[in-house]
């Protein structure tokens, strides 16, 4: 995963920029890779420089400087995962290469990540503390002032009802809260990741000069654990939170926190909003409105997540469809033209892409090579290896046209040198000499080609006696070959194990025995024998979904 920069505020709040180049400029100029549209920002304010697996940040002699975690940048400074970058009033968070954490609004420095929940006895001297069961939000909300309720619902619906992108959704939720609660100073939204960690995804300040984004873990964890929204009218003197350092340090006078609950009451995260004003504190009606907003925000969050899942699946399907078109382009687009011979081929991947392949290569000595290979495994990894094998096979056969076994050895070494320890390929090569009609066969761990003879028998000349190891198993393996003379009217069939191992709904394989019988009883013309075999395989399968690619090639000498 590439490193990235996440903008937390300003005109592009919520934007995440992947860092894919060696140098990334940040500034006001539109040519910058990260554009920060603010008059106080220099045209080319700072830049990120890739250094191995990390990025360094350098201030480009800007007027107002660049800061990392509150420290002014002098020279170049290495960035760590979740470091906070400040450029004038704009806050950004850096996620390093390979980071599994989403970009967040809060740097996870040790003093913040180590905050603990402080518990104390509730007593009469405590300032008024209200909690509201977030699981019963619809019941409690009915008692709120109807105009406030209507305004809150319209605000939140208009702001986030049509938003399906997560990065745009989170800032909109906070913008709506600031519209509903004009006396709020700060708001933040924290979402649980797959490991249950709270990840801040958006922050908002009433005062542009303020860049503090720390939150009270004491209040947040109380809201999450109890599935209750919390209101403290004067958090600074509330004995329930007396030991909380963040409340004291950041002059939080009144705070509300509401969990985002899914339908199964699973806590997705929280919204926290606070004010520093001693005159305008949050009331219980405010808390009830926040609970309703949190409820709708949770629904929007789940909808946005489902939307992203659908888009991700669509992108995957589109990419696989494109990969299938690319892979199909590697296969021969037409049959060879060889005097006295005819050819037929069939290919069907079990998934969008597959690891089987076949090819026809016209050699420099006038001979015609016919190749069928089967890469171990299936899907995208097998397809990628297949593309490499296609190239290596052509180069090797063209370079060693007079020596097919040595060409097979070179193919083997090329695959071994790729260092793919868990990948190999079985392959059968038939080289046709159109002058002598000799067929030279080389077998690298594959099934022997079947020859339908004139007397109706089926020969398998490249069986275990000459079969070598699959290509990619061992360097410098010496392959053998065998030669047969193809008589007029005889046909050769090459196939992958997706044919003989084709399975029906009863988990019964098609099998080599049945394949031999069908070949023996079939027509002698490749263009008829191939479809004859395929039809019988499909009859056996009867529509049952296959787990392996299926490939066949047939070629034969025309009858006189």
Residue with token string 């070629």: 555
pLDDT at position 112 is 33
46 touches 59 (CB < 8 A): yes
Spatial separation of the C-alpha atoms in residues 176 and 154, rounded to whole Å: 10
Beta bridge partners of 93: 6, 84
pLDDT tens-digit map of 417-426: 876 656 788 9
The C-alpha atoms of residue 439 and residue 410 are separated, in whole angstroms, by 20
Q: Residue 395: pLDDT above 70?
A: yes
Gap between the Cα atoms of 255 and 348, Å rounded: 62
Q: What is the pLDDT of residues 236-255, one digit of tens each?
A: 555 544 444 444 444 556 88
Return d(Cα 160, Cα 278) in angstroms, integer. 31
Which band of pLDDT confidence, cut at 50, 70 and 90, is reported for residue 119?
very low
- The pLDDT tens digits for 217-226 are 777 888 888 8
Consecutive H or E run containing 287 = helix 284-330
What phi, psi does 225 have (nearest 5°)?
-65, -40
Q: Select, from the ranges 84-98, 311-325, 539-553, the one with the highest average predicted confidence (pLDDT).
A: 539-553
Task: Sheet containing 438-444: give its strands across.
Answer: 356-362, 368-375, 425-432, 438-444, 481-485
pLDDT category of residue 430 using cuts at 50, 70 and 90:
very high
Is the pLDDT score of 98 beyond 90?
A: no
Mean pLDDT to the nearest integer, 183-203:
81
Helix, strand, coil proportions of the chain in percent (round to 5)? 30, 30, 40
Q: What is the pLDDT of residue 389?
A: 84
- Mean pLDDT is lowest, of 97-111, 231-245, 367-381, for 97-111
Q: What is the Cα–Cα distance from 198 to 221, expressed in whole angstroms?
A: 10
| DSSP β-bridge partners for residue 34 | 26
Rg of the chain (C-alpha set): 35
Residue 365: is it exposed, middle or buried by C-beta count within 10 angstroms (0-12/13-18/19+)? Answer: exposed
Q: What is the pLDDT at residue 102?
A: 43
pLDDT tens-place string over residues 524-551: 999 999 999 999 999 999 988 887 888 9
Alpha carbon distances (Å) from 119 to 228, 253, 266: 16, 20, 23
* Domains of the chain, start order: 4-95 (2.60.200.20), 124-306 (3.30.450.40), 331-557 (3.60.40.10)
CB-based burial, 320-352: b 16+ in 10 Å, e otherwise: beebbeebeeebeeebbebeebbbbbbbebbbb
Asked if residue 440 lies in contact with residue 433, where contact means CB atoms within 8 angstroms, the answer is yes
Q: Tokens 């539109």 correspond to what residue?
A: 30
pLDDT value of residue 177: 82
Q: Tell the burial category of 102 from Cβ atoms under 10 Å away from its Cβ (0-12, 13-18, 19+).
A: middle
Q: What does the alpha-carbon distance between residue 531 and residue 440 come to, in Å, rounded to a whole number?
A: 25
Residue with tokens 């382009």: 329
What confidence score (pLDDT) does residue 313 get? 79
Backbone angles phi, psi at 443, to 5 degrees: -125, 120
Q: How many CB atoms lie within 10 A of CB 121?
A: 7
Contact residues for 137 (Cβ-Cβ < 8 A; gap 6+): 288, 291, 292, 294, 295
């Amino acid at each position: 995963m590439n490193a990235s920069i996440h903008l937390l505020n300003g005109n592009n709040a919520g934007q995440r920029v992947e860092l894919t180049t060696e140098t990334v400029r940040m500034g006001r100029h539109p040519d910058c890779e990260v554009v920060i549209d603010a008059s106080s920002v220099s045209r080319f304010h700072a830049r990120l420089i890739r250094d191995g697996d990390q990025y360094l940040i350098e201030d480009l002699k800007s007027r107002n400087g660049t800061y990392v975690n509150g420290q002014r940048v002098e020279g170049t400074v290495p960035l760590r995962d979740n470091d906070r970058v400040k450029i004038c009033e704009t806050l950004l968070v850096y996620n390093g290469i390979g980071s599994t954490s989403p970009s967040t609004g809060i740097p996870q420095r040790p003093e913040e990540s180590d905050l603990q929940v402080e518990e104390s006895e509730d007593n009469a001297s405590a300032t008024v503390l209200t909690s509201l069961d977030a699981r019963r939000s619809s019941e409690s909300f009915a008692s709120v002032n109807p105009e406030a309720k209507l305004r809150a619902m319209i605000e939140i619906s208009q702001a986030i009802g049509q938003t399906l992108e997560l990065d745009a959704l989170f800032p909109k939720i906070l913008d709506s809260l600031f519209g509903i609660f004009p006396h709020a100073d700060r708001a933040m939204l924290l979402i649980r990741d797959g490991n249950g960690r709270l990840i801040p995804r958006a922050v908002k300040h009433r005062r542009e000069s303020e860049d503090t984004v720390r939150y009270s873990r004491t209040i947040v964890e109380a809201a999450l654990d109890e599935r209750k929204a919390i209101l403290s009218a004067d958090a600074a003197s509330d004995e329930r939170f007396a030991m909380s350092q963040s409340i004291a340090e950041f002059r939080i006078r009144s705070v509300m926190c509401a969990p985002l609950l899914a339908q199964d009451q699973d806590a997705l995260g929280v919204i926290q909003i606070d004010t520093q004003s001693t005159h305008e504190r949050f009331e219980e009606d405010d808390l009830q409105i926040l609970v309703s907003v949190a409820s709708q925000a949770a629904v929007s969050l789940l909808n946005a997540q489902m939307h992203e899942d659908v888009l991700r699946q669509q992108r995957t399907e589109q990419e696989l469809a494109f990969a299938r078109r690319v892979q199909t382009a590697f296969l021969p687009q037409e049959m060879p033209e060889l005097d006295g011979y005819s050819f037929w081929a069939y290919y069907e991947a079990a998934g969008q892409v597959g690891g089987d392949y076949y090819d026809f290569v016209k050699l420099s000595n006038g001979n015609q090579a016919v190749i069928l290979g089967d890469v171990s495994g299936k899907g995208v990894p097998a397809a990628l290896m297949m593309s490499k094998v296609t190239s290596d096979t052509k180069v090797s056969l063209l370079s060693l046209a007079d020596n097919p076994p040595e060409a097979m050895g070179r193919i083997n070494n090329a695959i071994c040198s790729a260092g793919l320890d868990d990948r190999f390929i079985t392959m059968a090569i038939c080289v046709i000499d159109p002058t002598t009609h000799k067929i030279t066969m080389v077998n690298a761990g594959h099934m022997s080609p079947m020859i339908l003879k004139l007397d109706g028998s089926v020969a398998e000349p490249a069986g275990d006696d000459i079969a070598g190891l699959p290509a990619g198993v061992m360097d410098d393996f010496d392959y053998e070959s065998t030669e047969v003379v193809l008589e007029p009217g005889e046909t050769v069939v090459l196939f992958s194990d997706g044919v003989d191992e084709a399975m029906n709904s009863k988990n019964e394989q098609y099998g080599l025995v049945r394949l031999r019988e069908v070949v023996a009883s079939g027509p002698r013309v490749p263009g008829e024998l191939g479809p004859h075999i395929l039809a019988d395989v499909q009859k056996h399968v009867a529509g049952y979904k296959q787990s392996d690619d299926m490939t066949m090639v047939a070629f034969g000498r025309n009858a006189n």
